[in-house]
A and B are shown apart, each in its own frame.
Chain A
Amino acid sequence: AQSVAQPEDQVNVAEGNPLTVKCTYSASGNPYLFWYVQYPNRGLQFLLKYITGDNLVKGSYGFEAEFNKSQTSFHLKKPSALVSDSALYFCAVRDPAGGFKTIFGAGTRLFVKA
């Protein structure tokens, strides 16, 4: 069965510094991996996804993520954080062999301090 872990409940970073939000997964075969962001009292917005090919995926708002198959990780990164990046971030995995289900992590709250 597929699963997702986001080991940090909260990440704090100063504005202008690089940020990393961690995600590890468990799935059979070649899973699809996603990152979403949620602002307070709002729905989730899609940031980026990994399907196949280049391990470094670029997405919206300057975010990128690196897929590492040997470590089963898909960490979200940004070279220079903005205060407006403060939000709740969700990693998600879908196993194409597992049917319809997308499994979401518990979320990591990112605080960017000015």
Chain B
Amino acid sequence: DGGITQSPKYLFRKEGQNVTLSCEQNLNHDAMYWYRQDPGQGLRLIYYSQIVNDFQKGDIAEGYSVSREKKESFPLTVTSAQKNPTAFYLCASSIDRPSSYNEQFFGPGTRLTVL
């Protein structure tokens, strides 16, 4: 099956901890994205990457970090600097340049809760 996988499905973080959310795709897509979803606010872009070893900040990058060492993988780290990290996190990919007309394919999401 081709698609995007995210793990874990549920994640709990204590104050002061960094946590890393995994995102893997086998669609051979160049572009990958991380979004945060909060109730009633739609999706907000955290980071995106057009190619390996390159990534750009989105609208709400503060307190988050990413890497893109492989085409298939785009992990997101939620650092202790992110003061309100409780949310549903969605990873997505698309076939080519982010500015193209191609739709995005989404993973199943990770729900992060701060204890």
- Contact B109 A90, beta carbon cutoff 8 Å: no
- Contact A101 B45, beta carbon cutoff 8 Å: yes
How extensive is the interface on chain B, given as a class? 20 to 34
- Stretch of B11-19, B64-72, B100-108 that contacts chain A: B100-108
With a cutoff of 8 Å between Cβ atoms, the chain B residues found around residue A41 in the complex are 108-109, 111
Chain A's closest residue to B103 (CB) is A46
Q: How far is the CB of B7 from chain A (nearest CB, A)?
A: 13
Told that A44-B104, A46-B105 touch, could you supply 13 new A-B pairs with CB distance under 8 A?
A9-B40, A32-B101, A34-B103, A41-B109, A43-B92, A43-B107, A43-B108, A49-B103, A90-B43, A99-B99, A101-B45, A102-B104, A104-B42
The B interface, classified by DSSP as helix, strand, loop or mixed, is: loop
Chain B residues packing against A (C-beta within 8 Å): 4, 6, 35, 40-43, 45, 48, 50, 56, 58, 90, 92, 97-101, 103-109, 111
Q: Number of contacts between A and B (CB, 8 Å)?
A: 60
Q: Per-residue CB proximity of A49-73 to B under 8 Å, as 1/0?
A: 1010000000000000000000000
Q: Is A22 in contact with chain B by the CB < 8 A criterion?
A: no
